[in-house]
């Protein structure tokens, strides 16, 4: 693989050279605090629409990802300032306005969601194995404490 500007070229197994024209760091490090949930949803759709099928792009910006998820159905909710989020948009199909989206927040929280035919579906929180192990250990300690009473 090799890149040039905002593109990435790669060779397939059959020797064809393909090119992905993803724009890395779309509007880099922009502060989205004060924007509404609806404005962020619209922005994500516009980003997808301007790319070609198969492109990948990354958004790095600041707004409360937790508030965005919690208030997902309230397009008028105004988002608070927060740490930096990295949002990776892949599997783009601009004509169908379809994409796969993974959003990572500064506090180790990751959400998976997708855009299908212009509709942005509610994000699901990704729970990592280490989080599950920590919760299980805590639960085991509480059960042990109850049993010792």
Classify residue 138 as exposed, middle or buried by CB count within 10 Å of its CB (0-12, 13-18, 19+): exposed
Instruction: Compute the average pLDDT of residues 131-138.
Output: 71
| CA pair distance 98, 30, nearest whole angstrom | 24
Give the tokens for residue 108. 């180790």
Average pLDDT over the chain reads: 82
What is the pTM (predicted TM-score) of this model?
A: 0.70
For 10-54, how does the pLDDT look when each residue is reduced to its tens digit (9 = 90+)? 677 788 877 666 556 677 678 888 999 999 999 999 888 888 888
SS (H, E, C) 30-65: EECCCCEHHHHHHHHHHHHHCCCCCCCEEEEEECCH
Distances (CA, A) of 136 to 86, 93, 130: 29, 40, 10
Q: How would residue 99 be classed by pLDDT, with cut points 50, 70 and 90?
A: very high
Residue scoring higher pLDDT (34 or 129): 34
Pick 130 or 23 by higher pLDDT.
Answer: 130
């Amino acid at each position: 693989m090799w890149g040039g500007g905002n593109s990435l070229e790669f060779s397939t197994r059959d020797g064809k050279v393909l090119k992905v024209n993803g724009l890395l760091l779309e509007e880099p490090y922009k502060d989205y605090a004060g924007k509404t949930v609806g404005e962020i949803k619209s922005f994500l759709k516009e980003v997808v629409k301007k790319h070609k099928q198969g492109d990948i792009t990354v958004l790095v910006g600041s707004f409360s990802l937790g508030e965005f998820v919690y208030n997902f159905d309230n397009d008028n909710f105004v988002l608070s300032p927060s740490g930096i989020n990295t949002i990776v948009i892949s599997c783009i199909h601009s004509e169908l306005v379809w994409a796969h989206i993974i959003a990572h927040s500064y506090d180790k929280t990751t959400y998976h969601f997708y855009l299908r035919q212009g509709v942005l579906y509610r994000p699901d929180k990704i729970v990592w194995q280490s989080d599950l192990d920590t919760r299980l250990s805590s639960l085991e300690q509480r059960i042990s404490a109850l049993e010792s009473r």
